[in-house]
Structure 1
Amino acid sequence: MKLNQLVAAGVLLSSASFATAAQNDSQFVVEDIKVEGLQRVALGAALTYLPVQVGDTMNGFRITQLIRSLYSSSHFERVEILRDGNTLLVRVSERPTISNIIFEGNDDIKDEQLQESLDGNDIRVGEPLDKTVLTSIENGLKDFFYSIGKYNADVTAIVTPLPRNRVDLKLLFEEGDAAKIKQINVVGNELFSDTELLEGLELQFDTPWWDFLSETRYQQQTLQGDMETLRNHYLDRGYLRFNVDSTQVSMTPEKDGIYITMNVSEGEQYTISDVELVGDILGHEDYIRAVLPLTPGELYNQAEVTYTEEFISNYLGRFGYAYPTVTTVPEINDEDKTVKLTLSVDPGKRIYVRRITFNGNTITADRVLRQNVNQMEGTWLSNGLLESSKGQLSRLTYMDDVEFETIRIPGEDDMVDVNFSVKEQPSGSFNAGIGYGDRTKLSLQAGIQQDNFLGTGKRVGLNVSTVSYQRSAQITYNDPYFTIDGISLGGSLGYSEFDGSDFNVIRYNSKQWSVGANIGYPINQFNRINFGLVYANVELYNRGYYEQTEQFYNQFVGSGDPDAPIEYDTLEASVSWSRSTLNRGLFPTAGSSQRASFSITTPNSDVNYFKSVLDTKFYYPLSRNQRWSVLARLRLGYGNGYGEINGNEQILPFTQNFTAGGADTLRGFENNTVGPRGVLRNSSPGASGPGGEVYPGDPDNDTISISRRSLGGNAMALGGLELIVPTPFVEEEMDNSVRTSLFWDIGNVWDTEFDYDKYSQLEQVDYTYGALLDYSDWKQYRSSAGISVQWISPMGPMVFSFSRAIKERDGDDAKFFTFNIGQTF
């Protein structure tokens, strides 16, 4: 077939050529249209991009339009327009389809961030590749590396052809090392020294090796922030005319060092001559004036001006004015160095909430989340209520992250929708299997434990387990929203068999079954009070004869058979108060929590005692992203008996004693070994009478020995500090499931009823487990330090601790490494 070429056009935008050749007969009427070279694009779709139909007259202008239309479709890499008689022939070469996108060598930019950047340029798997944008992407990524001080960085886009017109796209990164800041100079400062000005900047230089929080790598964005910090330093001290005149950033020839120079003009101090409030303040002018920190006669302070604007905005937001405009207009008098501040307030319209929605909750029902939201639909929009709602949702143990946004409704200037975006996390586990821990040894367990049962927000537990020291079965239930007002109702039923010798305490065995109920009342969003009542039946047997336990056993055991088991019933009433402002339910990094409880057995119980416990934790974030944080914690406890039974003064049952040592109390010591040990008293041999009768020996000649196991005590004081740090080799997104901390633990357990003088004069015959100590002395504390890693694993919470005892007492069992599965954090 002979083809008469009308126009041959090879067009490649930005990287291809465009050429035309025309015959003498430059126009013709199109009788047919053919398209060649199509592979992925359907013929019907290709024809839609042709602004030409059969019967149209073709000329140079129409050909140019046709070529532009085909390229604008983004499907074609090359286009040719040919003529065969009166047939218009369009030959195309399609752009290759991206089969795979690979990132290699990128450390400072995550794959997800890179893919977002490519998405913005319509480069994604399954889409045609526009090679013309690759150069701009390379240059854009290089600019990013330059902005963070990596001036030797290089980015190369490699396109590998594949069969069926497909390609692999690889972005190869050579980041290199970041340029370090060699020196920062401030020129023109006379009022403040270089040291005082530079210590407040985020960028640092010549820092000691231990100051690992310092940022010595140059970053353009950080420098901009430091310039603002420098400016605020002067403005907060009244230097209203301060200015950073210029900034020079120079580089060493090797591109590995940066010198920064900031030229400043300090000016003079200005005082406030007057503060005026103008605009509509909704009748709250007297209150706002009373709390404003801006006072005539004082030095101008930019921080206080900003605080005032934010305070007024937030205050008006409490009454539904969610979008107020507060502007401070300064009138500067350079002659007397004063400034008049005019606060212009425009509250705008009162905003109402039309609808509250939730997204991201695939398990938790909307009504459960709504129960924790203080902002109501149909009422004023309150920023305070929204923030408190976010905090309350975040403290749920089954929530990983919570955010909210207000969405303006088109056509409505006084209504918004509020959308809460939540990210859930596992709130329990179905378990059946075998475990091992240095505390529990071999364990078998089966059951279910859920804090968000079937998405209802109810806590349900059914567990059966057997470990070296205990076999137990327990059913628990709690409905945190039994009523719409947030009253909770719960109960428990349990049975256990316990062996003290395998728990690192003195020898005894017990069987216990119990049934209980509790009810809780919210005081406000942070505080809650709970009441409980538990009936328990306890049987003790296989006793050990220790001085500290004899007084308790003597209440029940007759002289006929001292080894007989004892059994008693108790009805225990309790009241507790809890408060939490933590930012998360698990692995918090900011806020505090406190819990105080008091329990007492009723007078009709077989034993009468009381216990009180105070547990408090404070989290102090050290960095803006809160990956660095300090935890300070304190736990106090005291218990004792009250009244008498059969002439015997009641004491706290030793089964209720506090113990310490191990993962959740004093790391660095064997579990439950810290504190008083059992004292064994051996009577001296008696004399025989002439009739064969035996006379008791002199008690002053008795001997004592100390048990290997701990007895615990009726008083406890434990505390510690932890530096929470980013976990090495773990991404930031995993901070809610993996935590690493450097810790220092300190504390003691003691017995206020122990009479040291009663035994100190007796001979001790066995020092295998240490010498007798004054177990009533609270000052005999222990301490340890180390590193701990906590992980919410698929098998349950796991704790790994490496620690060393700093202060230990005679007979203590120090332990370098401990791990436990299923411990609470």
Structure 2
Amino acid sequence: MKLNQLVAAGLMASSASFANAAVSDSEFVVEDIKVIGLQRVALGAALTYLPVQVGDRLNSFRITQAIRSLYSSTHFERVEILRDGSTLVVKVAERPTISNIIFEGNDDIKDEQLQESLDGNGVRIGEPLDKTVLTSIENGLKDFFYSIGKYNADVSAIVTPLPRNRVDLKLLFEEGDAAEIQQINIVGNSVFSDEELMKDLELQFDTPWWDFLSETRYQQQTLQGDMETLRSHYMDRGYLRFNIDSTQVSMTPEKDGIYIALNVNEGEQYTVSDVELVGDLLGNEEYIRLVLPINVGELYNQAEVTYTEEFISKYLGRFGYAYPTVTTVPEINDEDKTVKLTLSVDPGKRIYVRRINFEGNTVTSDSVLRQNVNQMEGTWLSNTSLETSKASLSRLTYMEEVEFETTRLPGLDDQVDVDFNVKEQPSGSFNAGIGYGDRTKLSLQAGIQQNNFLGTGKQVGLNVSTVSYQRSAQITYNDPYFTIDGISLGGTIGYSEFDGSDFNVIQYNSKRWSVGANIGYPINEVNRINFGLTYSSVELYNTGYYEQTEQFYNQFRDATDPEAPINYDSYQASVAWSRSTLNRGLFPTAGSSQRASLSVTTPNSDVNYFKAVLDTKFYFPLSRDTRWTVLARLRLGYGNGYGETNGNEQILPFTENFTAGGADTLRGFENNTVGPRGIIRGNTNSIVGPDGQVYPGGSATDGISISRRSLGGNAMALGGLELIVPTPFVDAEYDNSVRTSMFIDVGNVWDTEFDYDKYKDLTQYSTNSGGLIDYSDWTQYRSSAGISVQWISPMGPMVFSFSRAIQEREGDDAKFFTFNIGQTF
């Protein structure tokens, strides 16, 4: 091929000037076009980027345009335009295709974050590689490391050629150690000491070893935040003219230490001389003025000014004015050190909601979500309704995250769409348990619970248990959206066979079946009241002899056949109040919940008793991201009988006693072992049973034996504190499914009807279960401390607890490790 003209292109700008110089006097008409070097790019696609067609007259200017157009397609690494007679020859070298992207050595930046950054620069697998952007990516990553104090960091982009014009791209990181802050100096302060100013800063230096929350590693963004904290400290105390004149950040020659100096000008304090409201306050000026926190004659406070602006904006937002403009204009008088504040309010237009949309709900139907949304379509936008709706959705146990945003409609300045973005979590659980003990042996249980059945929000459960102490089956159903007003309807059917001797309680066997229904009414967004009625039939047999149970047995025992089973029926009416301001249904980190319930058997029941329970929890976040939170909880319970039967005073059936010990009450103690124990009264002729207990063998009663097993009590008080901490080695994005906490549990179960004086002077035959104590004394509490890890697994909630008993009583059965699957949180 004879080449009459050559224009070589490197970079677009330089190639254009070269082309003009080479062909300035040699124009020609293109009769044919050939493209050489295509591999991945189709010929038709390449020609679309070439602004030249057959028949066009080609000159240096048109060649420049062609080169620029081909480079702008991002497909080509090198472009040459040649002429062979009247044929235009385009010779290209395609950019290699990225076959794989590898990150190595990165600790401070996650792979996902790096890939997002590369995506923003068009660097992704399957796309052509533009090597010119690699340098800017390297420099950008280095700048990031420098901003967090890693001045020895290095980032290298390594490109490895592969067959078929493909490459592997590896980003190799050498992060090094972050520079530690050696000293922070605040220069120019006289009103406040260095110590007083430093305690509010996030960056610290020379901290004690135990203060592991302090940040001693230099970070540029954190320093900017600390400067704003310093500014707020002065501005909130009247120093309106405060200013940070300069900031110096220097490092040691080894680049491992940082010195920070902040030069401040404190100025003087200013007081508020007047507060004026101007603009359209929708007729609410009087109310707003009454609640303003800014008072004439007080020191200027920037935090109060900001709060006032936000309060007015939120207040107007309640009435549909979602985008108001509230501006505070200060008029400073430097002579008398006063400032007049003028709050200018422009409510803007009232905003209406056109449509409410839901995204992210792959299981839950939109209709279920709308049941929890207070904001209505077609009405004005209310920020209060939106926040309440978000809280209601977040408290659903099958929702992990809930966010919302308002989208203004193009061409309409008074309408928005509200988009709720939800992230669901498993709504069902497979409940299972496995354990082994010297008395319980191997125990197994299983069940299925679905809190969002087929995405309808209905709760359906089937639980079957075959542990050593119980065989049971229960079906539960609850429809929280029985009516559009939020009235709920549910019911249960259950059957169980129970052996107390294998449950760490006194010896007895029972058969029980029950059926019940309940209905709930919402009082408001956070309060609810429920009513229920349950019928149950109980048969007791194989009962042991215990002082505390005889009074109950005597109501039903057949004098002619004292060993016959005891049967009784009851109708139990209940009422319960619940309140919840928790930020999530599972693993909450803020807010509180309370539940109080009272159940009473009706007078026509064979047993007459009542039970009252109060359960409350408070979450106090310690950090802004709520990853550090304190949980305080308290559970109180009391029950007793009322009336008489056959001349016997009614008492709380011992089968309804409260028990404690185990994962959900007192960790560190064996399940159901805390509280009063059974007392057996007998003499020296008493018989020792196969379980080690003493049973009466004669009529004399000159001594007692204490059972190894718990009886439970009619009163209960349990509480505790937990410090919820970030789970080690687990990313923050999994906080909603994995939780670690350090806890202290404390509490007791006691019997208010127990008469200690009746037994205290009697001889004790057996002390292997501990001596007699006053079971009516509520101060005989137990306590424990430990660490708990909870995980919402695909099988359901799992709880692992390592605990140690701190306060225990003689005969208690301490337990170091507990493990539960399907435990209720």
Does residue 150 (structure 1) correspond to residue 150 (structure 2)? The answer is: yes
Does residue 198 (structure 1) correspond to residue 198 (structure 2)? The answer is: yes
Name the residue aligned to 2:689.
none
Q: Structure 1: how far apart are the matches of 2:225 and 2:14?
A: 40
- Pairs within 5 Å for 1:133-532: 133-429=133-429, 435-437=433-435, 442-444=442-444, 448-532=448-532
Q: Tell me how far 1:817 sits from its aligned partner.
A: 1.0
Deviations 1:140-171 (A, max 9, x none): 01101111111111111111111111111111
Structure 1 contact 9–18 (Cα < 8 Å) conserved:
no
Number of residue-to-residue matches in the alignment: 812
- Secondary structure in structure 1 of the residue aligned to 2:765: strand
Which piece of structure 1 moves more, 444-453 or 308-317? 444-453
Deviations 1:350-372 (A, max 9, x none): 11111101000000000100000
Deviations 1:438-481 (A, max 9, x none): 58864555653211000001101122231222111111111101
**TM-score, normalising length from structure 2?**
0.96
Q: Tell me how far 1:540 sits from its aligned partner.
A: 0.9
- Secondary structure in structure 2 of the residue aligned to 1:261: strand
Q: Structure 1: how far apart are the matches of 2:24 and 2:199?
A: 79
Structure 1 contact 249–259 (Cα < 8 Å) conserved:
yes
Q: Structure 2: how far apart are the matches of 1:6 and 1:748?
A: 99
Question: What amino acid is the match of 1:437?
Answer: G
Question: What amino acid is the match of 1:524?
Answer: N
Residues 446 and 778 of structure 1, relative CA distance in 2, 3 Å threshold:
closer
Question: What amino acid is the match of 1:495?
Answer: Y
- Secondary structure in structure 1 of the residue aligned to 2:62: helix
Residues 45 and 603 of structure 1, relative CA distance in 2, 3 Å threshold:
same
- Secondary structure in structure 2 of the residue aligned to 1:760: coil
Name the residue aligned to 1:76.
76
Question: What amino acid is the match of 1:793?
Answer: S
Residues 122 and 643 of structure 1, relative CA distance in 2, 3 Å threshold:
same
Residues 452 and 632 of structure 1, relative CA distance in 2, 3 Å threshold:
same
Name the residue aligned to 2:694.
none
- Secondary structure in structure 2 of the residue aligned to 1:106: coil
Structure 2 contact 436–443 (Cα < 8 Å) conserved:
no
What are the ranges of 5 or more consecutive residues in structure 2 without an aligned counterpart?
687-696
Q: Tell me how far 1:559 sits from its aligned partner.
A: 2.6
Question: What amino acid is the match of 2:3?
Answer: N
Deviations 1:455-508 (A, max 9, x none): 001101122231222111111111101111100000111111111122111111
Residues 720 and 16 of structure 1, relative CA distance in 2, 3 Å threshold:
farther
Q: Structure 1: how far apart are the matches of 2:525 and 2:596?
A: 17
Q: Structure 1: how far apart are the matches of 2:815 and 2:444?
A: 25
Name the residue aligned to 1:621.
621
Q: Structure 2: how far apart are the matches of 1:56 and 1:14?
A: 23
Name the residue aligned to 1:588.
588
Deviations 1:315-363 (A, max 9, x none): 1111111111111111111111111110111111111111101000000
Residues 296 and 760 of structure 1, relative CA distance in 2, 3 Å threshold:
same
Structure 1 contact 515–536 (Cα < 8 Å) conserved:
yes
Q: Tell me how far 1:514 sits from its aligned partner.
A: 0.4
Q: Tell me how far 1:120 sits from its aligned partner.
A: 0.8
Name the residue aligned to 2:601.
601
Name the residue aligned to 1:691.
none
Runs of 4+ in 1 over 3 A off after TM superposition: 12-25, 437-448, 683-686, 695-699
Name the residue aligned to 1:4.
3
Structure 2 contact 433–820 (Cα < 8 Å) conserved:
no
Q: Tell me how far 1:708 sits from its aligned partner.
A: 0.9
Q: Structure 1: how far apart are the matches of 2:235 and 2:24?
A: 77
Question: What amino acid is the match of 1:4?
Answer: L
Structure 1 contact 631–723 (Cα < 8 Å) conserved:
yes
Structure 1 contact 438–818 (Cα < 8 Å) conserved:
no
Q: Tell me how far 1:43 sits from its aligned partner.
A: 0.5
Q: Structure 2: how far apart are the matches of 1:747 and 1:446?
A: 29
- Secondary structure in structure 2 of the residue aligned to 1:274: strand
Structure 1 contact 13–132 (Cα < 8 Å) conserved:
no
Q: Tell me how far 1:231 sits from its aligned partner.
A: 0.8
Name the residue aligned to 1:121.
121
Q: CA RMSD in A?
A: 1.8
Residues 550 and 16 of structure 1, relative CA distance in 2, 3 Å threshold:
farther
Q: Structure 1: how far apart are the matches of 2:752 and 2:113?
A: 61
Deviations 1:735-776 (A, max 9, x none): 111110000010000000111110000001111111111000
Structure 1 contact 802–817 (Cα < 8 Å) conserved:
yes
Deviations 1:290-329 (A, max 9, x none): 1111111111111111111111111111111111111111
Identity of aligned residues (%): 83
Q: Structure 2: how far apart are the matches of 1:179 and 1:570?
A: 72
Name the residue aligned to 2:663.
663
- Secondary structure in structure 1 of the residue aligned to 2:295: coil
Q: Tell me how far 1:82 sits from its aligned partner.
A: 1.3
Deviations 1:23-82 (A, max 9, x none): 797222111000011111110010011111111122222211111111010000011111
Does residue 91 (structure 1) correspond to residue 91 (structure 2)? The answer is: yes
Q: Tell me how far 1:413 sits from its aligned partner.
A: 0.8
Does residue 555 (structure 1) correspond to residue 555 (structure 2)? The answer is: yes
Q: Structure 1: how far apart are the matches of 2:30 and 2:707?
A: 108
Residues 815 and 24 of structure 1, relative CA distance in 2, 3 Å threshold:
closer
Q: Tell me how far 1:3 sits from its aligned partner.
A: 2.2
Q: Tell me how far 1:182 sits from its aligned partner.
A: 1.1
Structure 2 contact 101–124 (Cα < 8 Å) conserved:
yes
- Pairs within 5 Å for 1:29-44: 29-44=29-44
Name the residue aligned to 1:112.
112
Residues 23 and 183 of structure 1, relative CA distance in 2, 3 Å threshold:
closer
Which piece of structure 1 moves more, 24-33 or 176-185? 24-33
Does residue 757 (structure 1) correspond to residue 757 (structure 2)? The answer is: yes
Question: What amino acid is the match of 1:11?
Answer: G
Structure 1 contact 11–18 (Cα < 8 Å) conserved:
no
Structure 2 contact 4–85 (Cα < 8 Å) conserved:
no
Q: Structure 1: how far apart are the matches of 2:144 and 2:747?
A: 51
- Pairs within 5 Å for 1:697-736: 699=701, 702-736=702-736
Structure 1 contact 704–764 (Cα < 8 Å) conserved:
yes
- Pairs within 5 Å for 1:41-80: 41-80=41-80
Deviations 1:73-118 (A, max 9, x none): 0000011111222111111110011111111111111111111111
Structure 1 contact 435–442 (Cα < 8 Å) conserved:
no
- Secondary structure in structure 1 of the residue aligned to 2:811: coil
Q: Structure 1: how far apart are the matches of 2:796 and 2:698?
A: 57
- Secondary structure in structure 2 of the residue aligned to 1:264: strand
